[in-house]
Amino acid sequence: MDIKKALVVDDSRTQRMVATSQLETVGVETITAENGMVAIDLLNGANRLPDIVLLDVEMPVQDGIETLREIRKSRRFGHLPVIMVTSRTGAKHRAMAREAGCNGYVTKPFRPRLLLETVEKLLGAIE
């Protein structure tokens, strides 16, 4: 089985580390970006695309909703499953994320099991 790879995009170093450590416990490799613009640059330059993207909503430079819209426009990586991982729990942000094309929505502070279940649902078994 090939090793799955995730792109974790969050302006909080702590949040990137928490998500990364959770994914690595089930054998998922990770790459990280601190905002949407860096994430898009990584995706454009990647030899091997990640299998999934975890994306924060509120970030400087380029936020998660803008980044998700840009991902969905791409012929090369528009198909990637994207999970929004955010402290925004309200219906407004959920609706914006859904309209922009997200595949999952997990609120922070996230329960590790819920995050991994959401990733597994989109990628198939990862353990």
pLDDT per position in the chain (127 positions), as tens?
578 999 999 999 999 999 999 999 989 999 999 999 999 999 999 999 999 999 999 999 999 999 999 999 999 999 999 999 988 888 999 999 999 999 999 988 888 888 899 999 998 866 5
Contacts of residue 94, Cβ cutoff 8 Å, sequence gap at least 6:
88, 105
User: Cα(28)–Cα(49) distance, rounded to whole angstroms?
Assistant: 13
> In whole angstroms, how large is the CA radius of gyration of the chain?
13
User: Cα(89)–Cα(105) distance, rounded to whole angstroms?
Assistant: 9
- Give the residue from 116, 105, 108 showing the smallest Cα distance to 68: 105
Please state the pTM of the whole predicted model.
0.93
Q: In what order do the strands lie in the sheet with 82-86?
A: 29-33, 5-9, 52-55, 82-86, 104-107
Alpha-carbon separation of residue 28 from 6, 16, 86, 107, 109 (angstroms): 7, 14, 20, 20, 20
